[in-house]
Amino acid sequence: MSISDSVAPQAPTKERVIANYLPASVTPVADSTDTLFAPSNIALCKYWGKRDAVLNLPVNSSLSISLAHLGSKTRISVSDEDQVWLNGVRLAAGDKFARKVIAFIDLFRRGADHRVRVETENNIPTAAGLASSASGFAALMLAVDRFYGLSLEPQMLSAFARMGSGSASRSLYEGFVEWQMGIREDGMDSFALPLDTRWPQLRIGLVKVSTGEKAVDSRSGMNRTVETSHLYQSWPLQAAADLERLHQAIAEQDFTRLGETSEQNALSMHATMIASWPPLLYWQPDSVAAMQTIWQARAEGVDVYFTMDAGPNLKLLFTADAEAEVKQRFPGLEVIRPFG
Ligand code: PMV
């Protein structure tokens, strides 16, 4: 066989990886009208940087907490044309979100002869400025699974949801969730698993700074950081150490350790962004003011910490006994009890 006859191994794509685990073709389950829910989640140890941008494979493992009843619910039904509805409004076919949703469906539909109507509702308070892509893609994955009667294992649902949005891999479960980075080229060992520890006293507060669309989305921000920030080199090691500390803190219900680790992890991620070029700073003056309020509260003995994602809003971490003190400093704070 000459070199020209040999077939180069094909790089894994979403289509190829998913096709390995599906029947040759799919058909919608008759009268499927179920609505599927997935919670939103907030990372305490962040996912920041991809080792594979096509499959959304991360450079580091991450750990999150799900936001109980706050999230997305999605229903798929057969229709005469593809259509996507968000919070009761039909989106234009060219809408960015609508195109992403249909592209995700296409990974499973693979040319089969039917059209779909996808209806999604987010009950995440818009005022909270929380991203909904994690819960959105997780709920969509669950709805796809139901619509085609696939009955996929949770780990596979998580790995496939990850292809929609990395953090969606963690939104398949309640409570604390770890997304294991994995090492396989096809990413099928890169999925999330729930931790079996509950922490009923834990509270999350949502501090709204701005709810407008951000100029740089997390995908672009991540890529820019990996490509241009010299500080990014230190990130994988820091993330691995923080993950370890968080596991310990959760196992021992050591809130101070949990808070310190989460806040430092978030600020370290933001430091890598700030050192990118062009610089990437998601903070606004009110974000910094909120940080200072938190540091002042700590100086006065209130055990409250924060974390932040690729946006200007803060998510506060505290326990039930500090709730009154925290609310006093952040009037109108939306408080979530992740364990009900
Ligand atoms: O899942 P994506 O592509 O929206 O990226 C999420 C990135 C962060 O929110 C900043 C961190 C995380 O782990 O959720």
What residue has token string 């829910």? Answer: 37
The average confidence (pLDDT) of the chain is 94
Answer yes or no: is pLDDT of 217 > 50.
yes
Mean pLDDT over 141-148 rounds to 96
Among 46, 63, 100, 170, say which to mutate for ligand 1: greatest number of ligand atoms within 8 Å of CB: 46
Q: How many Å lie between the centroid of ligand 1 and the Cα of residue 156? A: 20
Q: How many Å lie between the centroid of ligand 1 and the Cα of residue 87? A: 22
Answer yes or no: is pLDDT of 152 > 80.
yes
- Ramachandran region, residue 175 (left: φ > 0; alpha: ψ -120 to 50; beta: rest): left
Does the N-terminal peptide bond of residue 12 adopt cis geometry, omega within 30 degrees of 0?
no
Answer yes or no: is pLDDT of 188 > 90.
yes
Q: How many Å lie between the centroid of ligand 1 and the Cα of residue 112? A: 32
Alpha-helical runs (H) found in the chain: 14-19, 96-109, 133-147, 154-164, 218-228, 235-252, 255-274, 285-299, 323-329
Pocket of ligand 1 (CB under 6 A): 43, 46-47, 62, 131, 133-134, 165-167, 218-219, 309-310
Nearest to 186 by CA among 305, 17, 67, 33: 17
Residue-wise pLDDT tens digits, 281-320 = 999 999 999 999 999 999 999 999 999 999 999 999 999 9
55 pLDDT band, cuts 50/70/90, is very high
CB 43 within 8 A of CB 306: no
Q: What is the pTM of this model?
A: 0.95
| Nearest residue (CA) to ligand 1, atom 10 | 309
Q: How many Å lie between the centroid of ligand 1 and the Cα of residue 315? A: 14
What's the CA gap between 147 and 69, in Å, rounded?
23
Phi/psi at 274 (nearest 5 deg)?
Answer: -60, -30
